[in-house]
Amino acid sequence: MPTTRSTTQDRSAVRTLLRLWPYVRPVRARLCTAAFVAVVASCTGLVIPLVLKWMVDGPVADRDPAGVWLGALYLLLLGIAEAVLFGVRRWLVARPLSRVEADMRSSLYRHLQRLPVAFHDRWASGQLLSRGTTDLMLLRMFLAFPLTFLLVNGVTILVGVAIMLAQDWVLGLVVLGPAVPVLWTCVVFEGRYARAARRAQDQVGDLTTLVEESVLGIRIVKGFGRHRAQTRAFSALSAELRGTELHKARLLATIWGVIVTLPELAIGAALVLGVVRVADGGLSAGTLVAFLSTALALRWPVDSIGFLLAMSQEAATATERYFEAMDEEPEDRPAPAET
pLDDT for 9 equals 42
pLDDT exceeds cutoff 50 at 70: yes
39 vs 27: CA distance, rounded Å: 19
Which of 232-236, 266-270, 317-321, 331-335 comes out lowest in average pLDDT? 331-335
pLDDT exceeds cutoff 70 at 57: yes
Q: Report residue 76's pLDDT band, with 50, 70 and 90 as the boundaries.
A: very high
Q: What percent of the chain has pLDDT over 90?
A: 6
For residues 75-79, give the mean pLDDT. 91
pLDDT for 73 equals 93
pLDDT in tens, 22-52: 999 998 898 899 989 999 998 898 898 989 8
With H, G, I as helix, E, B as strand and everything else as coil, classify residue 225: coil
pLDDT in tens, 228-260: 787 888 888 888 889 988 988 888 888 888 888
For residues 5-32, give the mean pLDDT. 77
Domain boundaries, the chain: 14-326
pLDDT for 339 equals 44
Instruction: Look up residue 281 and give its amino acid.
Output: G
297 vs 165: CA distance, rounded Å: 15
Helix axes 305-326 and 227-279, enclosed angle (nearest 10)? 140
pTM metric for this prediction: 0.73
Helix axes 169-176 and 146-167, enclosed angle (nearest 10)? 140
Q: Is the dihedral of CA 197, 192, 6, 103 positive or negative?
A: positive
pLDDT for 7 equals 41
3-state helix, strand, coil split of the chain in percent (to 5) is 85, 0, 15
pLDDT for 84 equals 93
- Picking from 294, 305, 232, 275, the residue whose alpha carbon sits closest to that of residue 49 is 294
CATH class as words, domain 14-326: mainly alpha
Q: Report residue 332's pLDDT band, with 50, 70 and 90 as the boundaries.
A: low
Q: What is the mean pLDDT of the chain?
A: 83
pLDDT exceeds cutoff 50 at 168: yes
> How far does CA 315 lie from the centroid of its chain?
8
Contacts of 20 (CB under 8 A, 6+ apart): 139, 143, 319
For residues 288-314, give the mean pLDDT. 84
pLDDT in tens, 127-156: 888 888 888 888 888 888 888 888 888 898
pLDDT for 11 equals 60
288 vs 281: CA distance, rounded Å: 12
pLDDT exceeds cutoff 90 at 198: no
pLDDT for 333 equals 55
For residues 115-127, give the mean pLDDT. 81
Q: Report residue 3's pLDDT band, with 50, 70 and 90 as the boundaries.
A: very low
